[in-house]
């Protein structure tokens, strides 16, 4: 059941964040919503999904495949990283890293974490973003995923079990189901944010619609780095 807007009951509004670590803009939205989690009256639910599945199902294509947009992104990413205060920088071989290798194994691993060790979803997701979008490191090989899990605080033996679990039908189905749910809400890319306000889902695409999200929630927008998040 979706939470409704607060009021006399004080209940929190459920906000779903559908994301894929292959998406740099998802990282921006992820960090900002995590900063606002203790400020706004929301229940933030992280929803690891598969961007490739969303693209295929909706007929969309990666922005970098449009030459003019690809050129724009080379300027936009550094500007956004500075403004959002997220250590984001594009990998040297964008096509190889993002388009060819993709993120399926990484997102299956996060889905396994979400099922079995949900307390690590945030930290594991962040470390995988750090690998691909900060240090230009691999996120597809088992040893790469285990390295990210270790930095995220997951004990090695648990991480190995989660990695094994990520190949199971349960995890594959979880990722497919979450991706399908995002599409059902109208997602065509990521990040896709769905706020469940008064029983009605409100979809916002991208990391630059969070001010509008605040308006719908009846909350104050204090910029991408609210003062209380700096403490």
Mean pLDDT, residues 31-57: 97
Choice between 102 and 105, residue whose per-residue pLDDT is larger? 105
Kindly state whether residue 200 falls inside one of the protein's structural domains.
yes
Judged by average pLDDT, the poorest of 28-37, 85-94, 205-214 is 85-94
In 3D space, the residue among 231, 222, 179, 188 whose CA is nearest the CA of residue 32 turns out to be 222
| pLDDT tens column, 141-164 | 999 999 999 999 999 999 999 999
Kindly state whether residue 204 falls inside one of the protein's structural domains.
yes
Residue 131 has pLDDT above 80, yes or no: yes
Count of structural domains within the chain? 1
Residue 66 has pLDDT above 80, yes or no: no
Q: Note whether 48 and 19 are within 8 A (CB).
A: yes
d(CA 95, CA 75): 17
**The two structure tokens encoding residue 208:** 């630059």
Residues spanned by the domain of 82: 13-221
Kindly state whether residue 186 falls inside one of the protein's structural domains.
yes
Q: Domain holding 23: CATH number?
A: 3.40.30.10
Kindly state whether residue 38 falls inside one of the protein's structural domains.
yes
The pLDDT value given to residue 10: 62
Q: How far is CA 73 from the centre of its chain?
A: 19
Helix (H) or strand (E) holding 43: strand 42-48
Kindly state whether residue 1 falls inside one of the protein's structural domains.
no
The pLDDT value given to residue 228: 62
Kindly state whether residue 227 falls inside one of the protein's structural domains.
no
6 burial (CB, 10 Å; 0-12 / 13-18 / 19+) is middle
Kindly state whether residue 154 falls inside one of the protein's structural domains.
yes
Q: Binning pLDDT at 50, 70 and 90, where does residue 222 land?
A: very high
Enumerate the H helices of the chain as residue ranges. 24-36, 51-58, 67-84, 94, 104-116, 121-133, 142-151, 156-165, 169-184, 210-217
Kindly state whether residue 231 falls inside one of the protein's structural domains.
no
């Amino acid at each position: 059941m979706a939470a409704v807007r607060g009021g006399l009951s004080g209940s929190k509004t459920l906000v779903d964040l559908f994301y894929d670590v292959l998406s740099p803009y998802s990282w921006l939205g992820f960090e900002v919503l995590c900063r606002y989690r203790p400020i706004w009256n929301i229940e933030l639910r992280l929803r690891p999904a598969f961007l490739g599945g969303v693209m295929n199902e909706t007929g969309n294509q990666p922005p970098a495949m449009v030459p003019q947009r690809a050129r724009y992104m080379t300027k936009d990413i550094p500007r956004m990283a500075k403004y959002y205060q997220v250590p984001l920088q594009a990998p040297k071989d964008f096509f190889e890293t993002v388009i060819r290798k993709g993120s399926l194994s990484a997102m299956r691993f996060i889905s396994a974490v979400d099922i079995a060790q949900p307390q690590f979803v945030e930290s594991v997701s962040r470390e995988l973003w750090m690998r691909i979008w900060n240090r230009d490191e691999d996120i597809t090989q088992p040893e790469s995923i285990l390295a990210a899990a270790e930095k995220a605080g997951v004990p090695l033996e648990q991480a190995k079990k989660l990695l094994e679990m990520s190949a199971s039908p349960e995890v594959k189905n979880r990722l497919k189901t979450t991706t399908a749910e995002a599409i059902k809400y109208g997602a065509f890319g990521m990040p896709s944010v769905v706020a469940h306000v008064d029983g009605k889902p409100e979809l916002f695409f991208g990391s630059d619609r969070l001010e509008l999200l605040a308006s719908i929630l009846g909350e104050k927008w204090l910029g991408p780095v609210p003062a209380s998040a700096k403490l």
